[in-house]
Structures are given as structure tokens and as C-alpha cells.
Amino acid sequence: MKVLPNLGAEEGLSPSALPPTATEAVRAFLWLFGPDVEPIDAARPAWPAALGPPPQVPLFDWIEGEACAWLADDAAQRRLRATGAKLHLPDPAVVLRVNDKAFAQRAALHQGLLPTPLLGHVEVFGPEAIEPERVRRCVEALPAWVGRDWVLKPRHGTSGRGRVRRLQDVAGSAARLRQRGGAVFEPWLRRIEDLSALLFLEPDGRIRWIGTTRQKLRGAGIYQGSGGELGVDGKVRSGSAWDDALRAAAILVAGEVSAAGYHGPLGIDAFVFEGPDGAPLLRPVVEINARFTMGMVAVGLLLQARRAGVIPGPCAWIFSMEGAEEGAQVLRLGEDLRLGWTPLQR
């Protein structure tokens, strides 16, 4: 299978232009595709010995076909088509539409999934609407329980890159945000847990559920790792008290995504935050990723470790990209990649 690891595509980066810190992320992503992977613009990665013998097939049974990309946008599909591969990927215009943070906001509103205290305080800016005075009005309208802490996020972007959090920076960032499709304004909340739901959508609308995870993020939203629980039933869950609510919301949103014409891997970011009275509230739809995610990569590697018997049973697990020695048992997958696990009581 020909695979384009275009992890920086939302910022317009080619694989060759990725920062050095993304090297291990690219390698781990390519491990998902088994021994027959043919990377484009990247080296074929050696399988990590810590996960046992190399698998003979992709790590998920829904990975199939002749070609794939991290984000199947127009540039990626043109690059894959140039190799002679037959593509069974969604329309790139649909990928662009669904991967827009504005789509996530509209889907959350349509499904009644935006928490009541946030209604009226999350706003989508079109490319030509980004101006300091309009952002100032949004800031001044924030309720007292939020204060004046906020963020302006590019509609097409990842890993917290390109965010604006000060009014004096809006004018200087406007041109860049326009190039990224505009922006979404929202309060910067006191997060308690960062979560994600992982799915695969078939072309006929069927949903293949992958699981839910906790996310480890730096304060600016930069991904550091994922974790959760692997149950006796082999299912991957976040271990959060909000897990059932997150799954129910993800299924609803997946229906909206499918109706828009998208099929393929899908990640939905969520978080639990401190509400107006101090009680925790779930925001189950923050961003929709119409692509592979590192959480998906982490779960694929976890399940392969379980199949190989490297992890012998149900466990609490954590995947780290920063070399932290996590868990009672730690599998070193690379210079900074770790998969730690602790057995769960049966």
C-alpha cells in the first residue's frame, strides 16, 4: 500500500518540510500499515522489536486499498494518483469541509451538544471577518465566570499551532488566519480532562467504533500522548466517568459527517471543563478530524501488543511521545516513543 504521511497538511507542510520532532510520529503512523507499506516522501520504518514479530497485515482491518494518506486532501490525492494507485478516498472537497473547525461547531449546535453555558460565546469567523474590533466585542461579551481568557483558532490547523490569545496580536495574525480558512473564537476554559473518540466511517454510512481515549496535551493544545483502559472484552475506553456520554455524542456527530459525504478515519476531540458553578461539564465536540490521528496510531499499536501477547491482558495504558517512563511496564518503541501499561484487576 502506498502511504503519504502528510502530517503537516493542514498547515500546508509537505512530509519533507515537517519539523524534526515529527519524525517519530511519521514512523509510528506508518507502522499501522504492516510490512507492505510503501511510504511516499519518507523512509520505510523498521518495526519496533518491543511489539513482537512484525504483523503481516495492517493493524486495523478497515485499512485496505492501494493508497492512503494521513489527511486525504486534494494535494495528497493528486500525489497518490501520480503513483498510478487506484484511489478509494472521499472527495477532497468533502475532506476540506468536514475537517474545518466550523463544521464541528455547527454539528455540535445542530445536535444540541454545545453545553448551555457556552451558547452564544463560540463564534465562527469567515476569512474576511477577522478584525480586532469584532474579536474585541466577542471578548467583552464573555461571562464573568470565564473572565477574559479566550482563543482564536485557525479553522484548518492542528496541534494548537497558529492560535491567537491576545487582542494586540489579532491584526498581525489576520492574513495567516485567512489563509487557513478563517478562525473560531471561543472561551479558554479550565479543562479537567482532554478526551477523544475514534471511529471509521464506511462509504455506506456504517460506523466502525475504535474506542475512546484520554489525551495528554500541553497547555497550548500540543499532543503529547494518549491513554485509557483496555478491557477484558478487548475494547478501548478512556476510563473517564464521561465515557458513555462521549460515545453517544460521537455517534450523533458521525452521522452528520457521513451525511456530508465523508468516509474514512475520524477523530472527535472533546474535553471536560469547570462550569459556572465549579461543577464539571463535558464539551463532547470541540474539533472533528477527518483524517488519521495520533490517538488512532496509539490504539493500533496497543491492540497489536495485545495480539502479540506482549501485553498479556486487560490494562491501563499510556502512549507517550516525549519519552516519559509511564506505567508499571514500559515498551520502548523509539527514541521518545513509549507504551506503558499496568494490569487491571479482572
Domain range for 86:
2-92
The reply to whether 256 and 278 lie within a common domain is: yes
Select from 187, 207, 241 the last residue of a domain: 187
The reply to whether 215 and 331 lie within a common domain is: yes
- 104 lies in some domain: no
Select from 152, 187, 222 the last residue of a domain: 187
Q: Classify residue 333 as exposed, middle or buried by CB count within 10 Å of its CB (0-12, 13-18, 19+).
A: buried
Taking the CA atoms of 111, 165, 198 and 126 in sequence, report the sign of the dihedral they define.
positive
- 329 lies in some domain: yes
Select from 187, 220, 239 the last residue of a domain: 187
Of 72, 65, 8, 10, the closest CA to residue 42 belongs to 8
The reply to whether 183 and 204 lie within a common domain is: no
CB proximity list for 43: less than 8 A, separation 6 or greater: none
- 97 lies in some domain: no
The reply to whether 181 and 206 lie within a common domain is: no
Count CB neighbours of 339 within 10 A.
Answer: 27
The reply to whether 124 and 182 lie within a common domain is: yes
Helix axes 132-140, 170-179, angle to 10 degrees: 110
Helix, strand or coil for residue 98? helix
Tell me, what CATH number does 147's domain have?
3.30.1490
**Distance between CA 320 and CA 337 in Å, rounded?**
6
**Distance between CA 147 and CA 168 in Å, rounded?**
18
Reported pTM: 0.95
123, 137 contact by CB (below 8 A): no
Helix axes 101-110, 243-259, angle to 10 degrees: 110
Residue 226, beta-bridge partner list = 215, 319
Question: CA 251 from chain center: how many Å?
Answer: 16
How would you classify the pairing of strands 2-4 and 67-69? parallel
For residue 157, what pLDDT is reported?
Answer: 84
The reply to whether 124 and 196 lie within a common domain is: no
The reply to whether 252 and 180 lie within a common domain is: no
**Distance between CA 310 and CA 304 in Å, rounded?**
9
The reply to whether 125 and 201 lie within a common domain is: no
Backbone angles phi, psi at 31, to 5 degrees: -60, -25
For residue 16, what pLDDT is reported?
Answer: 66
For residue 21, what pLDDT is reported?
Answer: 66
The reply to whether 195 and 337 lie within a common domain is: yes
The pLDDT profile of the chain, 346 residues, written as one tens digit per residue, is 999 999 988 887 766 666 666 889 999 999 999 999 999 989 999 999 999 999 999 999 999 999 999 999 999 999 999 999 999 999 999 999 999 999 999 999 999 999 999 999 999 999 989 999 999 999 999 999 998 899 999 999 886 678 899 999 999 999 999 999 999 999 999 999 999 999 999 999 999 999 999 999 876 678 899 999 999 999 999 999 999 999 999 999 999 999 999 999 999 999 999 999 999 999 999 999 999 999 999 999 999 999 999 999 999 999 999 887 777 899 999 999 999 999 987 5
Tell me, what CATH number does 276's domain have?
3.30.470.20
The reply to whether 296 and 201 lie within a common domain is: yes
Residue type, 169: D
Per the structure, the count of domains in the chain is 3
The reply to whether 201 and 329 lie within a common domain is: yes
- 288 lies in some domain: yes
Taking the CA atoms of 280, 282, 283 and 289 in sequence, report the sign of the dihedral they define.
positive
78, 9 contact by CB (below 8 A): no
- 105 lies in some domain: no
CB proximity list for 222: less than 8 A, separation 6 or greater: 159, 160
For residue 27, what pLDDT is reported?
Answer: 94
The reply to whether 84 and 156 lie within a common domain is: no
- 223 lies in some domain: yes
Backbone angles phi, psi at 137, to 5 degrees: -65, -40
The CA–CA distances, whole Å, from 105 to 113, 121, 189, 212 equal 9, 11, 16, 20
For residue 162, what pLDDT is reported?
Answer: 80
- 235 lies in some domain: yes
**Distance between CA 164 and CA 177 in Å, rounded?**
9
For residue 186, what pLDDT is reported?
Answer: 96
- 202 lies in some domain: yes
